[in-house]
Structure 1
Amino acid sequence: MAAKITACFTFLKEALILPTLNPKLFAPVLLFFAVTAFLDPLVHVVFVQPLGDGMASRLTEINNTDPSSAEYGKLVEKFMETEEMKQVGKRMLRITIAQFTVGPALGLVKQILALFAASTTYSGDRYSLAGLLSELVSGRISLKGPSITIAVVGALDFAGAVLAALRYHVMGGRSGVLSVQGLVSLLAHLASLCFTVIALVGVAASVADSRKCRGVRALRQAWRLVTRVRRKEGLVLVLVAYLGPTVVAPLHRFALGYSKSSMAACLCLMAVYALLSGAQQLFSLAAATVYYYQAMENKE
């Protein structure tokens, strides 16, 4: 029994070892993951939070003023019409646009880099980052399959977000744990976790076999592997996908708590968070890749 339980975690052990087999590739990939993970809280602390604090102080001043007084009207008018507030609005708009454009693009690059790094290393190749990028740019390693699968996953994610918004609207935002709404929310969350894992394995399948396995076919293949071929390991992968971000996230909130009292401490904690977050993301992608290869070997 203990041996069977241990066997379920074997692919995680191999996923941990995988980067050590090709450090010249995984080290810069991990650094890239860490830098991108550092950018988001950095933008929040350096740009968003000061703007928000400035607006909050103005609103506090307005709220503390008697609405029937003449001063209240002047403060509101000043708040709405000053050039400073217009600039704040423009900056917030630019930051929001950047987050919704640059963020997904970086996420796509990270996913492709990590999966190709894991796949090529597991297959026995020992590329450097420059070598891998050269292969990808030249087309000797095809991006078509993973790109199609990622596009399908993105479309399904969008559809899921729309359905979640509709559910929230219909249920009025109530999500008590013991209520029907709470049960539906829990099931939706579990379904989202499972889909995340199936999507990861599906994209990993597209990376490993770009010609035959892409798009919906890759996701169907991933579904069969997770639900039929290696179900226990699939459950472990779901737990990894859930527990990884959950364990790292508190450090992010802890770091932001120091943003007003000590910027140096805040930046140091954010750097630690970024490194751990990047390592966790890279490990999840490597685990999905190893899981796919081992499941396919078991299937054969």
Structure 2
Amino acid sequence: MAAKTTSCFTFLKEALVLPTRNPKLFAPILIFVAAIAFLIPAVNVVFIQPLTAEMLHHVAEMQTTDPSSAEYARLLEEIRQEARELVLIAVALTVVTLPLVFAKQILAFSAASTTYSGDRYSLAELLRRVTKWANLRGPLVTVGVVTALQLTFMALLGVYLSAVMRHAGVLSVQGAVFVLAFLAFMYFGVVAVVGVAVSVADEGCRGVRALGRAWRLMTRVRRKEGALLAAVMVLLPTVVSPVYALALTYARKSMAVGLYLLFGYALLSAAVQVFYIAAATVYYYEAMESKEVVVTFHGYAKIPSGEGEANV
């Protein structure tokens, strides 16, 4: 429906108003996303940071304690216990947050996709829809592929950065290559978000195929809009990041104030996430509705918009 417009900002405007078309669905999803955004930093502030500070304090005490004394043995045992607690907290947090993050993506993308398509589901109706295997399989496979590729990319970046730091003589060249690789990693993150939108909108397109379609749409069909989407997804979170830094600062003085600020940050972060998920979804639909769609990596083909999805 937005294919008739020419402004590259149109899909962002559409994404802004999309949640208002079904507030009974997007309101609980926003709260759910905010709860997840609050969980990790709250655990960090309440448990991880104090425990880490206590462990570092004990390590500092050990430096001035006789290794043969009973006090040294006591400090060593406390450090071991604190390290075990940190590991348990980290493992528990990972086990809890991974399925929550996946559920967040499925619900938010499904809400954006169905609302854009004209459906007005309630949260209960959407849950019944997305829990069907036919609707769940595509996003599940795509998110799994994206996660594996991102972890691999991050590992390679880490290895390369380590090599750059060891070779200061050619730092300017290797540093430039690292910056380019990091920018590519960030751009892949945007492609991945569009890829998840693809797998939610099209049940038959998932995994690498969904990422390939997202890549072709962003680099061949709607390049300006794709670049704009990438800029929004990279820059918009930096707008709310000072609130997070402020919350961490105040948490050292007052835990209650820090948690209040973290809750405010979580709400802002949730709004940003819902917006860019809606933007990626609208971008995908508008690109597929456009007159030009990619049929090969080397050219375009003019085909009716109704046939676009079958050929990309």
TM-score normalized by the length of structure 1: 0.89
Residue range with higher mean Cα deviation, 258-267 or 94-103: 94-103
Q: Give the superposed CA RMSD.
A: 2.3
Q: Quote the Cα distance in structure 1 between the aligned partners of 2:102 and 2:112.
A: 15
**128-137 or 72-81, larger mean C-alpha shift:** 72-81
Structure 1 counterpart of 2:252, one-letter code:
K
Q: Is contact 2:29–2:107 with CA below 8 Å preserved after alignment?
A: yes
Higher relative contact order (CA 8 A, sep 6+): 1
Letter of the 2:124 counterpart: A
Q: CA separation in 1, counterparts of 2:102 and 2:83?
A: 29
Structure 2 counterpart of 1:262: 254
Is it true that 1:77 corresponds to 2:70 in the alignment?
Answer: no
Say whether residues 1:293 and 2:285 are aligned partners.
yes
Alignment of 1:196-215 (within 5 A): 196-211=189-204, 213-215=205-207
**Partners of 2:81 and 2:276 in 1: CA distance:** 41
Partners of 1:175 and 1:281 in 2: CA distance: 39
Structure 1 unaligned regions, length at least 5? none
Deviation track 1:111-137 (CA, whole Å, cap 9, x = no partner) reads 111100000000000001111001222
For residue 171 of structure 1, report the CA deviation from its aligned partner: 2.3
Q: Within 2, Cα distance between the matches of 1:219 and 1:175? A: 37
Once the two structures are overlaid, the 10-residue window that deviates more, 214-223 or 29-38, is 214-223
Partner of 1:61: 61
For the structure 1 residues 50 and 186, does the alpha-carbon distance in structure 2 shift closer, same or farther, using more than 3 Å as the test?
same
- The answer as to 2:29 corresponding to 1:35 is no
Deviations 1:149-177 (A, max 9, x none): 22221221122122113212322367999
What is the count of residue pairs matched by the alignment? Answer: 288
Please point out which of 222, 225, 247 is paired with 1:230: 222
> Alpha-carbon deviation of 1:55?
1.6
In 2: Cα distance, 1:176 partner to 1:26 partner: 53
Greater CA drift, 266-275 or 84-93: 84-93
Deviation readout 1:157-198 (Å, 9 max, x if unpaired): 122122113212322367999712321221112101210111
Which residue among 102, 117, 121 is the counterpart of 1:123? 117
Distance in 2 between residues matched to 1:101 and 1:255, nearest whole Å: 25
CA distance in 1, matches of 2:136, 2:269: 26
> Which position in structure 1 is the counterpart of 2:263?
271
Which of residues 86, 93, 97 is equivalent to 1:103?
97
TM-score by length of 2: 0.85
What code does the residue aligned with 1:33 have? V
Match of 2:309 in 1: none
Residue identity over aligned pairs, in percent, reads 52
Residue 50 of structure 1, CA deviation: 1.6
Aligned equivalents of 2:261, 2:196: Cα separation in 1:
32
User: What amino acid is the match of 1:79?
Assistant: L
Question: CA–CA distance in 2 between the matches of 1:177 and 1:18?
Answer: 49
